[in-house]
Amino acid sequence: MNTKNLHRVKDDDVEMRIDWGIVFCILVLAVIGMVSLYVALKHGTSTVSISRTVISQLIWYTLGAIMVAIIMQFDAEQLWKIAPLAYGIGITLLILVLFFYSRSYAANTGAKSWFALGPFTFQPSEVMKPAFILMLGRVVTQHNSEYEHSWESDWLLIGKMLAWTAPIAILLKLQNDFGTMLVFIAILGGVILMSGITWKIIVPGFAGASIIGGLAIFLVVYDRTLLEKIGFATYQFKRIDSWLNPAGSTSGDSYQLWQSMKPLVLANCWVKDLMFLMSTYLYENQI
């Protein structure tokens, strides 16, 4: 096969790996995000530059698209080889932040999870998230290629994934960053759900997690004494309160959530106005 045909096969392979439905959905969400950001800043009380913020968001979208294009040049085998290296880099950063964390961020949030170099801030857990997903993908792929799904092999797979999750959980506990840990738990749950593990394990597991989550929310709302005894801090309750009652502190803990809700409120008003105009027009035509 000549070089020209090799390039054609490679291009066809890349084309087959692109799910244009997902790409379209991402583009739609990106546009909605940009519009929402613009509307929130336009009608908010912040003094930041609207154009600068929107352009900055657009730059991040562009950089993300470039990274996706680069990653797509690697096949699965190459990605599995990279996974341990990426995981190791992520763990190293999570360890370093315990010593070189931003003192001001820690004072405000209670978490030692941010680097700060002048005006530049960086949360190493953001590097760890894709590395963690990549590592779990490698674990699941290798396990499923070696074992047939059974009760014993599925529990073995869960044990492997928990083993790779444990160092992250310990380091995030030392950072006092429970919110980020919930994100990693969600990632782990998603991978377990898609790994081919039998529903005889998944259904009771997710049901138990739902019960525990519901009980935790109940305790947050009605009785926080038990949660305080097991280590929940005041700032963590404030974050939950900001979600339960966004209007309670629109200039404090609920500021970001309140700003994000403004575009939804405005969109609702626009839809109501449009429906009113349409109904008026139809009514007048019938008369």
pLDDT tens digit sequence for 37-81: 777 777 666 666 778 888 888 888 888 888 888 877 777 788 888
pLDDT confidence bin for 168, thresholds 50/70/90: very high
Q: Does residue 176 carry a pLDDT above 80?
A: yes
Give the predicted TM-score (pTM) of the model.
Answer: 0.69
Q: Does residue 243 carry a pLDDT above 90?
A: no
Q: Which residue has the higher pLDDT, 231 or 169?
A: 169
pLDDT confidence bin for 283, thresholds 50/70/90: very low
What is the C-alpha separation between 166 and 163, in angstroms, rounded? 5
Q: Which residue has the higher pLDDT, 212 or 277?
A: 212
Q: 234-244 and 199-222 helices cross at what angle (nearest 10)?
A: 100
- 3-17, 43-57, 82-96, 127-141: lowest mean pLDDT where? 3-17
Q: Does residue 10 carry a pLDDT above 70?
A: no
**Domain residue limits, the chain:** 1-73, 75-286
pLDDT confidence bin for 184, thresholds 50/70/90: very high
Predicted pLDDT of residue 6: 46
Predicted pLDDT of residue 170: 94
Quickly count: other Cβ atoms within 10 Å of residue 159's Cβ: 9
Predicted pLDDT of residue 165: 95
